[in-house]
Structure 1
Amino acid sequence: MNTRIKTILCVAAALAATTAASAMSHPVMLEDQGSFFAGGVVKTAPGAYTGQPLDRSGETLHGDHAYVFYQKPVKAHQNALVFLHGAGQSSKTWETTPDGRDGFQNMFLERGYTTYLVDQPRRGKAGQTTITHTVTAQPEDQMWFNIFRLGTWPKYYDNVQVARDERSLDQFFRQMTPNTGDFDQEVISDAMVAVLETAGPSVLVTHSQGGGPGWETAMKSDKVKGVISFEPGDFPFPEGEVPPAEPTRSPFPAQGSAVSMDEFLKMTKIPVAVVYGDNIPAEHEHTDNWGMDNWRIRLNLARKWVDIVNRYGGNAELIYLPDRGIYGNTHFPFADLNNKEVADVMEQWMKDNGLAE
């Protein structure tokens, strides 16, 4: 949207009166909002275009781009927030929570930040892919329930910060969306660089699988002024310094990836935070609960990564929410019942690191 607009967003009183929870708790004056595609490639079929409807010779295919929806409030902070989702998710991750409350999109818009919500290439509204891929219908809701640390199906963890009614759980499961093409970190990070060219100076906020392409984006783009990564499982280490994979009961072992020292040192030039929630066993506390053990080894890897970034002169911080007195968080701390407390921690970290001007 090129024209300046001023829009007040609010929830109608009648709607609020009929729901247990509602999003957009404060009216926001917007200067601009819109959507766009960023990055991607164009492939051309062999041969010369003939104009025949079933002859694809010479025709083009635009794909592997990102989709972005943005909102800019009046008098916005200098740095925007660019949000990248995790595995099986889309930008819905950051929108209204499964039980109908403000997600981080609304929360930080209300706090004066421009928000850019991204669907990564080959996912969600960015589903146009340039490679052939088969999407299978696979029953796996209970796997996600376990690995996302809501509990061990069908029982929730005693302190877990999620609404436990059937509708909220139904909404949570329906957030899952398939890849339309193979996950490709290079493709995603290239598209994210293009997103940043439009967004300008930004704090990149990633979740889970989005952490890998997030680090790569930060190494490619000088528009990334800081990174906040919620529960990532992949980290870039200097060549020759990648820790060995740690044994786990989880079928999804975690291991760092190797990058050149020149690339790694780029991560030492910006402030970085990695954030983990609750119900993760202690460092050496192996457990047969694979959903928990999966995150024990990822948290251990995060500790090693933060240490090595700081050893090379960087500014990395591990934020383990129980250490802040915040308990019961799942793999989605930004959508849990206590997500306002989590947002406060995130914003305070930005203020402490000069990113919230």
Structure 2
Amino acid sequence: MQPRLCHPGSFQIFAIIFLVALAALPTYAAPPTDQTDQANAGCVGLKGVNPRCRPQETAYHREYFYIGGRYVPDPVLGGNLVVDQLYVEKLIPAAGRVKQPYPLVFFHGGGSAGNVWLQTPDNRKGWASYFLERGYAVYIIDQTSVGRSTQEDLAGYPLRIGATAEIAQIGFTAPELTNPYPQSQLHTQWPGKGTIGDPIFEAFVAQFIPLTSNLTRQELSMRASGCELLSLIGPSYLISHSIGALHPILLSDQCPQLVAGNINVEPTTIPFQSFTGSANSSSGRTPARPWGLTNTRITYDPPANAPTDLKRVNNETDTPALRSCIYQAEPARKLPQIAKVPYVALTGEASPHITYDQCIINYLRQAGVKVDWIKLGEINIHGNGHFLFLEKNNLEIAAVVEKWIKKTRKQ
């Protein structure tokens, strides 16, 4: 039997119908292949949520855990609630191989959560990706009372505002516009304009969340849950930002054998006081941290049984470029537990911290702690503000941190 052939006219009609139907199908643009393409394709800031925008993070395997916690009775529902638990994300390189001997644990600052370490507001790689690519196990936490960690009022965590857009603009993203301190004029590294309405700024401030006003309660829970985490994963390097630096100090005091190193990015553990906003005036100070660096008791030698045992002296020099500090009166009590842990602080040359981080450094040295202080401007890394790990040269600064880690591993 001869095969039946389509009449040539019928075939042409079929082909035309097929091509018309194909043209009517929805089309999708290929995802951008690099960060330049990302910007050109409108994938910056919150627009990066579009499915055609290609993520810049490195590939990793992810698990999550809730560490620590305790039961408290619920007076309304009856039974018990778990409070004080710590949310932990475990990130492992996608290849499945951890090449470095010590994990890294990241502590976020006030008004934010652990997500700040994943990517920048303009969708570039964050520090988590940088260290994953180099074979580190990375742990990112939401501190107790914040984000996905416990926020139960029964645990004593009343919440307050983290920061306003105006505080962010003056103190973090565009201090050069209001010139609250002379070094602000050196600020060049924030991506975008750093002002309200700019898409990168809007992505940045959109992640602000409340934090607790009960830092004493938070410190007690972070001591317990933090040391429990370290007991499960082994000695680790603790990387913190801003007020998050409180907790590595506490863990260095509570379980120093589990802390390989204490890495502080612009630490806000100013002895006995707190600067608010851009800290451009004496009225911006409030009493804080009655135990010097913390709100709860840490180990001094000779022992201090109450904050009043710590006799204070005031450094009288105070200018917008160099703020005055409160130290211990001599002879100063030492911090023997904290001194067991290598300590480094990084300060941007255009941040408000360049005007007062010396208060933290000198207090620790006075208390017998060996401290490295890396002022980025002095190593030719220029133009950085308070959120330097999100700024344009963030990966260059991450390399400085990794160099310090390798140095301490050899000691």
TM-score, normalized by length of structure 1?
0.76
Q: Of 398, 401, 410, which residue of structure 2 is paired with 1:343?
A: 398
Alignment of 1:121-270 (within 5 A): 121-129=144-152, 130-131=154-155, 135=159, 140-148=164-172, 150-151=174-175, 157=185, 159-164=187-192, 166-179=198-211, 182-183=214-215, 184-221=218-255, 222-234=257-269, 236=292, 238=300, 239=304, 240=310, 244=314, 264-270=335-341
| Deviation of 1:25 (Å) | 6.2
Q: Is 114-123 or 215-224 further displaced after alignment?
A: 215-224
Unaligned runs of at least 5 residues, structure 2 = 1-28, 45-53, 272-291, 294-299, 305-309
> Counterpart of 1:296?
355
The equivalent residue for 1:16 is 33
Cα distance change, pair 120–173 in 1 and its aligned pair in 2 (3 A): same
Q: Is the Cα contact below 8 Å between 2:98 and 2:137 reproduced in 1?
A: no
**Alpha-carbon distance in 1 for matches of 2:63, 2:260:** 23
Q: How far is 1:139 from its partner?
A: 7.8
Q: Sort the Cα spacing of 1:347 and 1:87 in 2 relative to 1 into closer, same or farther, 3 A.
A: same
- Asked if the contact 1:103/1:334 (under 8 Å) is kept, the reply is yes
Distance 1:69 1:87, change over 3 A: same
CA contact (8 A) 1:41 1:62 kept: yes
Equivalent position SS for 1:148: helix
Q: Contact 1:78/1:201 (CA < 8 Å) preserved in 2?
A: no
> Are the counterparts in 2 of residues 122 and 181 from structure 1 also a CA contact under 8 Å?
no
Change (3 A) 1:330 1:113: same
State the AA in 2 paired with 1:163.
Answer: P
Following superposition, the deviation at residue 66 of structure 1 comes to 1.2
- SS of the aligned residue for 2:245 comes to helix
1:308–1:38 CA distance, 2 compared to 1 (3 A): same
Task: Verify the 8 A CA contact 1:232 1:274 in the aligned structure 2.
Answer: yes
Deviation (angstroms), 1:99: 0.8
SS at match of 1:273: strand
**Residues 81-131 of structure 1: per-residue CA shift (max 9 Å, x gap):** 000011111002211001111111111111111100010001011143234
Deviation of 1:218 (Å): 1.4
Counterparts of 1:111 and 1:23, CA distance in 2: 19
Q: 1:108 aligns with which of 131, 137, 147?
A: 131
Alignment length (residue pairs):
314
* 3-state SS of 2:106 partner: strand
CA deviations 1:40-77 (Å, max 9, x no partner) are: 2210146xxxxxxxx533x1111122111111231331
Structure-2-length-normalised TM-score: 0.67
Whether the aligned pair in 2 keeps the contact of 1:85 and 1:118 (CA below 8 Å) is: yes
**In 1: Cα distance, 2:127 partner to 2:247 partner:** 20
- Kindly provide the amino acid, as one letter, of the partner of residue 233 in structure 1: T
Shift of residue 179, structure 1, vs aligned partner: 2.2
Of 68, 84, 87, 1:64 maps to: 84
C-alpha contact (below 8 Å) 2:242/2:266 kept by paired residues: yes
Q: How big is each residue's C-alpha offset from its partner over 1:226-253, in whole Å with a ceiling of 9 and x where there is no partner?
A: 1101111216574546554776779x99
Specify the SS of the correspondent of 1:39.
strand
| Shift in CA distance, 120/72, structure 1 to aligned 2, threshold 3 Å | same
Deviation at 1:355, TM superposition (A): 6.8
Conserved? CA contact 1:84–1:210, under 8 Å: yes
The residue number in structure 1 matching 2:343 is 272
Q: Structure 2: which amino acid aligns with 1:143?
A: I
- CA 1:114–1:154 in structure 2 vs 1: closer, same or farther (change >3 Å)? same
Whole-angstrom CA distance in 2 between matches of 1:114 and 1:339 = 19
In 2: Cα distance, 1:114 partner to 1:138 partner: 29
* 5+ residue gaps, structure 1: 1-11, 47-54, 281-291
User: What is the SS of the residue equivalent to 1:15?
Assistant: coil
- 1:25-48 Cα shifts (integer Å, max 9, x gaps): 65x5x5x531101122210146xx
Task: Verify the 8 A CA contact 2:160 2:213 in the aligned structure 1.
Answer: no
Following the alignment from structure 2 to structure 1, what is the Cα–Cα distance between the partners of residues 375 and 227? Answer: 29
Q: Distance in 2 between matches of 1:331 and 1:154?
A: 15
Letter paired with 1:191: S
Give the 3 Å change call, closer, same or farther, for CA 202–37 of structure 1 in structure 2.
Answer: same
2:111 to 69, 82, 88: 88
Q: Which amino acid aligns with 1:35?
A: Y
Structure 1 residues 336 and 243 mapped into 2: Cα distance closer, same or farther (>3 Å)?
farther
CA contact (8 A) 1:132 1:181 kept: no
In 2: Cα distance, 1:136 partner to 1:266 partner: 32
- State the SS of the aligned residue for 1:88: coil
Counterpart of 2:18 in structure 1 is none
Kindly name which structure, 1 or 2, has the bigger radius of gyration based on alpha carbons: 2
